[in-house]
């Protein structure tokens, strides 16, 4: 290993990227947003999802209670939950269309319940490239503290507030308040100054996307394979006029459909029992 060093640079400079990564996890947990994922195997390993003709809608499941009977010829059931949470279970025939298009329609309808979150995330996305360019200009390489560490499979370069770390399967770059982390198939961008976090990743055909900015966050997951196994959540610290803080869906179904979709509107930002009970409704009908 060779190491060169000019001037004196506190060890904390090299820890900036690691701290950024730890902060992402802590922020998600402390701000009542929890993100968990389980590797989903293909249909052959998991077992094929069922083809459903009529929904099963128990009177109660977990914290949810059904309102009335199934409607629209057994294709829609409505439930209420704690603090007026609303869950609707839908049986959706694709009729040659795509599951992605069907789910986009649900997403568009649910998004109208949290207009502030949608506007904030869209603005953050549109300004992302410009903000990155501004950050680059605002934090030119420092001419003082500098460190360089090289070894087989290891490359660490740091100068002033900027650092680059390359390890097998891991690539981290930080520039002042900005940080970019690549771990395997995942890419994480974070900005202290903008209060934003973006995560994109794919492993074994499964995909995860997280966009967070200030009060709003959007989380999207989908499993690989021909079957539909997808979820989408939009949250906002600020309640809407109707008091909603979280909307989303859980969807599953065999290739070609029909798909079973549970939509959720909740006044609690934490996913909690309502979303888990909605997932149980979907699993009851179509399988895991």
pLDDT at 191: 60
Q: What is the pLDDT of residues 160-187, one digit of tens each?
A: 667 676 656 556 666 666 666 555 555 5
CA-based angle 233:234:239, to the nearest 5?
135
Total domain count, the chain: 1
- Say which residue, 129 or 33, is predicted with more confidence: 129
Q: How far is it, in rounded angstroms, from Cα 170 to Cα 101?
A: 35
pLDDT in tens, 71-124: 878 899 999 999 999 999 999 999 999 999 999 999 999 999 999 999 999 998
Residue 240 is assigned to a structural domain of this protein: yes
Q: Decide if 108 is inside a domain.
A: yes
pLDDT digits over 270-283, tens only? 767 899 999 999 99
Residue 191 located in a structural domain? no
Is residue 75 in some structural domain? yes
Q: Quickly tell me which residue has 């990227």 as its tokens.
A: 17
**Pairing verdict, β 186-191 and 196-203:** antiparallel
d(CA 66, CA 249): 17
Q: Say what the pLDDT of residue 142 is.
A: 45
Assigned domain for 255 exists: yes
Q: Is the pLDDT of residue 132 over 70?
A: no
CA separation for the pair 276, 252 (Å, rounded): 14
pTM: 0.67
Average pLDDT, the chain: 74
Rounded mean pLDDT, 182-196: 57
Strand partners, 92: 259
* Per-residue pLDDT at 19: 33
* 38 belongs to a structural domain: no
Question: What is the pLDDT averaged over residues 228-247?
Answer: 94
pLDDT at 248: 96
For residue 27, is pLDDT > 70?
A: no
Mean per-residue pLDDT, 59-67:
96
147 within a domain of the structure (yes/no): no
Q: Structural domain of residue 94, as residue ranges?
A: 45-128+205-286
The answer as to whether 106 is a domain residue is yes
């Amino acid at each position: 290993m060779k190491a060169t060093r000019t001037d004196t640079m506190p060890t904390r400079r090299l820890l900036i990227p690691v701290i950024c990564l730890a902060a992402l996890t802590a922020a998600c947990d402390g701000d009542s947003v929890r993100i968990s994922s389980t590797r989903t195997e293909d249909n052959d390993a998991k077992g094929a999802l069922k083809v459903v003709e009529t929904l099963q809608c128990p009177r109660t499941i977990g914290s949810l209670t059904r309102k009335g009977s199934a409607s629209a010829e057994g294709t829609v059931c409505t439930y209420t939950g704690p603090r007026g949470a609303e869950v609707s279970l839908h049986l959706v025939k694709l009729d040659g269309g795509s599951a992605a298009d069907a789910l986009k329609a649900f997403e568009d309808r649910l998004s109208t319940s949290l207009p502030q979150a949608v506007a904030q995330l869209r603005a953050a996305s549109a300004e992302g490239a410009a903000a990155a360019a501004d950050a680059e200009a605002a934090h030119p390489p420092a001419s003082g503290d500098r460190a360089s560490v090289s070894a087989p499979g290891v490359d660490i370069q740091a100068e002033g507030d900027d650092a680059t770390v390359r390890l097998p399967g891991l690539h981290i770059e930080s520039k002042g308040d900005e940080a970019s982390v690549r771990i395997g198939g995942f890419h994480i961008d974070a900005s202290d100054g903008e209060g934003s976090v973006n995560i994109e990743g794919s492993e074994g055909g499964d995909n995860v996307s997280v966009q967070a900015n200030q009060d709003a966050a959007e989380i999207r997951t989908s499993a690989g394979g021909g079957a539909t196994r997808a979820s989408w959540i939009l949250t906002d610290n600020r309640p809407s006029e109707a008091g909603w803080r979280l909307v989303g869906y859980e969807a599953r179904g065999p290739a070609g459909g029909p798909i079973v979709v549970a939509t959720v509107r909740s006044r609690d930002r934490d996913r909690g029992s309502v979303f888990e009970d909605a997932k149980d409704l979907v699993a009851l009908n179509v399988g895991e």
